[in-house]
């Protein structure tokens, strides 16, 4: 457990735009920073970070919260893990309170994996320079491949001695347990003999880093000529390492990717390092797996432009076709650079140097769909059936392109290449898009997995699934906004006292809003607005202040996202829609007091109109006695409404 005071110090120190900026490429816009949401797939940024309010909010998928919530969501940290991460970043010492056994266990396990991975990286890197074999075998290999000492150090490269269990023995001596060594896969335990050995023995080591620079695992390349040894061996998946969610080089490349707004995707680790050394630092590789959607989304946090670099051989390109379709489906702009036969980015850079490499990349970017069509067309020759297949295959690829203009350009160029009319191809594309939509709709319509007999809840407990809430009335939303953003601002109200003198009193915005609505015994019509109002009322009663953190921390997703959305809203939005309805435009900056009182009056007038209207409807068919009661109420509400109308300068009429 971390004590409250430390938590406060951590959250005070954490700057949300800095923290989120470690994971998402953010651009400053006005008071906010915006970027593409890391939690859903999007092309245009709708992810807002407000430094002054300390919250983030995605207007696409609704995800929202504070800096701790972000880390929990994004890095799958627990609450204490997120705090520890922040404490580490901002150099705040944590005074530990007693942890629960379960917390200790989990923390110790993950920490153990991180620690031993870091320990291993340092050990292997040390051997590379300070051990005779390390220098003779490992370092000379890297030097032969043209890597400088500077880049070797930047990527933390190392060497694992070709001995049975040198690393394992060393780690055990340093106090690491068999369990963590086995879990990270650094040590392999033979079940039958009980023997243990180093997984990576005799290999040069490429550590794999998380986006924040922690060592998660390794990729080891064999140097001996043994036929049966795999060229590359990677760490097995563990609690900290998941190969489908990691890109090799991303930690070193992320800033360059964001800056260039482009990411080069290559095949191998050495290609990545070689490209970096040649000054093309926006380069990553999918590591030990074919490209996954998760990896694409990692890239997408920084850019939506990907250029795929592949070896000249056709087998490599065909194997990559699926990955490219995947990139398109994720809304990426994909281009391709094909190297001449027998060359790859590494060998090309070696042979011709970095300037030539960069020139080559700039001159040979090709449009991938065109390329794919050309490659496949070579196989088709004049076979009409296979050509028809190719047309629909091409159409399926084009259908994945999300940008309409881009799509029609592809249709134009590909139809030319395939020697079919544009109409034929665009019809095929439309059909492919329709089929994809159909498939998506069917997937959505699939019923949820039925609970098994035993789990079925008793009848009376089955509740109607909550219908999605409609948007709140603007004025209620605006009052919630005033409560959350300005609730603790003090306003000075002047009034005439009984003796005729002018008196001043100070109230907070929240006090005024809460007591005014309570005083008229009104409530917000929208359930979320009403919950905020009630909660703020309680807070004002208890402490005199509104604590917005309560809403941002709420485990209720609907409440949390609603409040964050409202808090992030800019005034102009509100103003615009109010003006359309011929209601005055509120301007907080100009006059908070006027905004509060006018908003309250507007709210009351609308709400009163609703209540009057409701009672009018009930008049029909009511008993004489009820009618009298209703008419009295209507008169009562109308009187209040008239008073408010006078204050607002317009006449309130119920809707008919």
Residue 58 engages Zn ion in binding (rule: CB under 5 A): yes
Residue closest to 559 by CA, chosen among 534, 542, 580, 584? 534
- Choose one: 54-62, 390-398, 576-584, 590-598; the region binding Zn ion (CB under 5 A): 54-62
Q: DSSP letters along 299-316, please? A: HHTT-SEEEEEE-SSHHH
- Choose one: 58-66, 110-118, 510-518, 575-583; the region binding Zn ion (CB under 5 A): 58-66
Whether the CB-CB separation of 475 and 599 falls below 8 Å is answered with yes
Q: Tell me how far, at minimum, the Cβ of 570 lies from Zn ion, in Å.
A: 18
Q: Which residues pair with 50 in a beta bridge?
A: 55
- Choose one: 40-48, 256-264, 569-577, 646-654; the region binding Zn ion (CB under 5 A): 40-48
- Choose one: 56-64, 213-221, 332-340, 565-573; the region binding Zn ion (CB under 5 A): 56-64
Pairing relationship of beta strands 365-367 and 263-266 according to DSSP bridges: unpaired
Count CB neighbours of 517 within 10 A. Answer: 20
Q: Tell me how far, at minimum, the Cβ of 36 lies from Zn ion, in Å.
A: 8
Q: Tell me how far, at minimum, the Cβ of 354 lies from Zn ion, in Å.
A: 38
- Choose one: 57-65, 310-318, 521-529, 601-609; the region binding Zn ion (CB under 5 A): 57-65
Q: DSSP letters along 236-285, please? A: PP-SS--GGG-EETHHHHHHHHHHHT-EEEESSHHHHHHHHHTT--SEEE
CA-to-CA distance for 585 and 288, rounded, in angstroms?
Answer: 58
139 vs 566, beta carbon nearer Zn ion: 566
CB within 8 A of 63, min separation 6: which ones? 37, 39, 40, 56, 57, 73, 561
Q: Tell me how far, at minimum, the Cβ of 58 lies from Zn ion, in Å.
A: 3
- Choose one: 31-39, 133-141, 342-350, 633-641; the region binding Zn ion (CB under 5 A): 31-39
Chain position carrying tokens 């060497």? 159
CA-to-CA distance for 150 and 165, rounded, in angstroms?
Answer: 29
Q: Tell me how far, at minimum, the Cβ of 513 lies from Zn ion, in Å.
A: 31
7 vs 567, beta carbon nearer Zn ion: 567
45 vs 487, beta carbon nearer Zn ion: 45
Chain position carrying tokens 């795999």? 230
64 vs 533, beta carbon nearer Zn ion: 64
- Choose one: 34-42, 253-261, 482-490, 552-560; the region binding Zn ion (CB under 5 A): 34-42
37 vs 204, beta carbon nearer Zn ion: 37
Q: Tell me how far, at minimum, the Cβ of 63 lies from Zn ion, in Å.
A: 5
39 vs 176, beta carbon nearer Zn ion: 39
CA-to-CA distance for 257 and 211, rounded, in angstroms?
Answer: 13
Torsion 219-220-221-225 (CA) sign: negative
Residue closest to 163 by CA, chosen among 191, 203, 221? 203
Count CB neighbours of 559 within 10 A. Answer: 18
Whether the CB-CB separation of 142 and 152 falls below 8 Å is answered with yes
Site string for Zn ion, 184-203 (x = CB under 5 A): --------------------
Helices (H), 60-219: 67-74, 79-89, 101-130, 132-133, 140-144, 149-154, 166-173, 178-183
Q: Tell me how far, at minimum, the Cβ of 61 lies from Zn ion, in Å.
A: 3
40 vs 545, beta carbon nearer Zn ion: 40
Instruction: Please provide the distance, in angstroms rounded to a whole number, between the alpha carbons at the two ends of the chain.
Output: 59
37 vs 272, beta carbon nearer Zn ion: 37
37 vs 509, beta carbon nearer Zn ion: 37
Residue closest to 308 by CA, chosen among 382, 389, 364? 364
Residue closest to 609 by CA, chosen among 557, 563, 655, 566? 655
Whether the CB-CB separation of 552 and 564 falls below 8 Å is answered with yes
235 vs 561, beta carbon nearer Zn ion: 561
Q: Tell me how far, at minimum, the Cβ of 443 lies from Zn ion, in Å.
A: 20
Q: Tell me how far, at minimum, the Cβ of 31 lies from Zn ion, in Å.
A: 20
Interaction with Zn ion in 61-120: which residues (CB under 5 A)? 61
Count CB neighbours of 393 within 10 A. Answer: 18
58 vs 208, beta carbon nearer Zn ion: 58
Q: Tell me how far, at minimum, the Cβ of 250 lies from Zn ion, in Å.
A: 21
- Choose one: 60-68, 182-190, 302-310, 519-527; the region binding Zn ion (CB under 5 A): 60-68
Query: How far is residue 349 from each of residues 115, 145, 153, 345, measured CA to CA in Å?
Result: 36, 11, 19, 6
Interaction with Zn ion in 372-411: which residues (CB under 5 A)? none
Interaction with Zn ion in 318-377: which residues (CB under 5 A)? none
Chain position carrying tokens 């204050």? 647
Torsion 603-605-611-614 (CA) sign: negative
CA-to-CA distance for 395 and 391, rounded, in angstroms?
Answer: 6
- Choose one: 53-61, 156-164, 270-278, 294-302; the region binding Zn ion (CB under 5 A): 53-61
- Choose one: 35-43, 265-273, 568-576, 610-618; the region binding Zn ion (CB under 5 A): 35-43
Q: Tell me how far, at minimum, the Cβ of 49 lies from Zn ion, in Å.
A: 12
40 vs 386, beta carbon nearer Zn ion: 40
Q: Tell me how far, at minimum, the Cβ of 53 lies from Zn ion, in Å.
A: 18
Tokens standing for residue 393: 């295959």
57 vs 478, beta carbon nearer Zn ion: 57
Q: Tell me how far, at minimum, the Cβ of 357 lies from Zn ion, in Å.
A: 37
59 vs 550, beta carbon nearer Zn ion: 59
Q: Tell me how far, at minimum, the Cβ of 445 lies from Zn ion, in Å.
A: 24
* Residues binding Zn ion: number (CB under 5 A): 6
CA-to-CA distance for 377 and 366, rounded, in angstroms?
Answer: 16
Angle formed at CA 577 by CA 573 and CA 583, multiple of 5 degrees:
125
- Of 60, 146, 236, 645, the one binding Zn ion by CB under 5 A: 60
- Choose one: 50-58, 97-105, 211-219, 449-457; the region binding Zn ion (CB under 5 A): 50-58
Q: Tell me how far, at minimum, the Cβ of 568 lies from Zn ion, in Å.
A: 13
Residue ranges that bind Zn ion, judged by CB under 5 A:
37, 39-40, 58, 60-61
């Amino acid at each position: 457990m971390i004590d409250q005071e430390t938590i406060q110090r951590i959250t005070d120190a954490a700057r949300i735009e800095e923290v989120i900026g470690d994971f998402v490429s953010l651009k400053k816009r006005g008071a906010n920073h915006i970027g593409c949401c890391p939690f859903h797939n999007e092309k245009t940024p709708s992810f807002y970070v407000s430094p002054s309010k300390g919250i983030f909010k995605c207007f696409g998928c609704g995800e929202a919260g504070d800096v701790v919530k972000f880390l929990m969501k994004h890095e799958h940290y627990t609450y204490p893990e997120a705090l520890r991460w922040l404490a580490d970043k901002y150099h705040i010492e944590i005074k530990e309170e007693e942890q629960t056994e379960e917390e200790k266990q989990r923390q110790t396990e993950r920490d153990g994996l991180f620690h031993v991975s870091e320990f291993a990286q340092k050990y292997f890197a040390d051997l590379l320079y300070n051990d005779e074999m390390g220098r003779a075998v490992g370092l000379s290999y890297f030097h032969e491949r043209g890597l400088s000492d500077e880049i070797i150090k930047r990527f933390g490269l190392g060497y694992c001695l070709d001995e049975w269990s040198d690393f394992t023995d060393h780690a055990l001596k340093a106090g690491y347990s068999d369990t963590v060594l086995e879990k990270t896969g650094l040590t392999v335990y033979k079940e039958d003999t009980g023997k243990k050995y180093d997984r990576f023995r005799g290999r040069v080591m490429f550590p794999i880093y998380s986006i924040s620079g922690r060592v998660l695992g390794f990729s080891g390349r064999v140097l001996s000529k043994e036929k049966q040894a795999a060229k590359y061996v990677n760490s097995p998946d563990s609690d900290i390492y998941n190969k489908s969610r990691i890109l090799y080089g991303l930690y070193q490349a992320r800033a360059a990717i964001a800056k260039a707004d482009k990411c080069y995707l290559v095949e191998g680790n050495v290609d990545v390092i070689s490209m970096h050394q040649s000054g093309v630092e926006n380069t990553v590789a999918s590591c030990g797996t074919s490209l996954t959607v998760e990896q694409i989304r990692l890239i997408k946090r920084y850019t939506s432009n990907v250029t795929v670099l592949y070896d000249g051989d056709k087998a490599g390109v065909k194997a990559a076709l699926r990955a490219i379709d995947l990139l398109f489906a994720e809304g990426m702009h994909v281009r391709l650079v094909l190297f001449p036969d027998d060359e790859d980015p590494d060998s090309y850079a070696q042979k011709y140097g970095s300037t030539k490499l960069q020139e080559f990349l700039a001159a040979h970017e090709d449009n991938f769909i065109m390329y794919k069509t050309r490659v496949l067309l070579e196989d088709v020759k004049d076979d009409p059936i296979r050509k028809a297949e190719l047309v629909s295959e091409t159409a399926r690829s084009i259908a994945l392109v999300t940008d309409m203009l881009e799509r029609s350009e592809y249709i134009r160029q590909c139809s030319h290449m395939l020697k079919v009319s544009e109409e034929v191809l665009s019809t095929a594309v439309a059909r492919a898009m329709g089929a994809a939509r159909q498939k998506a709709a069917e997937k959505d319509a699939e019923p949820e997995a039925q609970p098994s007999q035993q789990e079925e809840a008793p009848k009376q407990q089955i509740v109607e699934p909550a219908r999605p809430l409609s948007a709140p009335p603007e004025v209620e939303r605006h009052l919630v906004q005033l409560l959350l953003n300005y609730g603790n601002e003090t306003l000075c109200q002047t009034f005439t006292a009984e003796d005729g003198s002018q008196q001043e009193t100070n109230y907070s915005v929240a006090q005024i809003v809460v007591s005014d609505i309570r005083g008229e015994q009104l409530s917000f019509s929208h359930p979320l607005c009403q919950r905020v109002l009630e909660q703020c009322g309680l807070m004002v009663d208890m402490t005199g202040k509104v604590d917005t953190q309560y809403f941002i921390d709420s485990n209720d997703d609907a409440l949390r996202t609603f409040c964050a959305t409202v808090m992030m809203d800019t005034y102009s939005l509100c103003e615009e829609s109010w003006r359309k309805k011929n209601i005055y435009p509120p301007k907080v900056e100009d006059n908070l007091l006027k905004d509060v009182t006018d908003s309250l009056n507007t709210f009351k007038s609308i709400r009163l109109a609703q209540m009057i209207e409701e009672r009018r409807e009930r008049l029909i068919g009511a008993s004489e006695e009820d009618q009298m009661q209703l008419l009295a109420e209507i008169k009562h509400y109308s009187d209040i409404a008239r008073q408010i109308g006078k204050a607002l300068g317009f006449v309130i009429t119920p809707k008919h």
